[in-house]
Amino acid sequence: MSKDAIDKVSDAIKHAVDDIKDSVHEGQHRSAADMEKAKREALGDELTPSEKVGSALNEAKQRTQAEIDAAKLKIRDNT
pLDDT in tens, 18-74: 999 999 999 999 999 999 999 999 999 999 999 999 999 999 999 999 999 999 999
pLDDT at 39: 96
Most distant CA pair in the chain, distance: 66
pLDDT at 35: 97
Q: Confidence class of residue 3 from pLDDT cuts 50, 70 and 90?
A: confident
Asked if pLDDT for residue 5 goes beyond 80, the answer is: yes
Boundaries of domain holding 45: 3-77
Q: What is the pTM of this model?
A: 0.82
Counting the structural domains of the chain, the total is: 1
Identify the burial level of 30 via C-beta atoms within 10 angstroms of its C-beta, where 0-12 means exposed, 13-18 middle and 19 or more buried.
Answer: middle
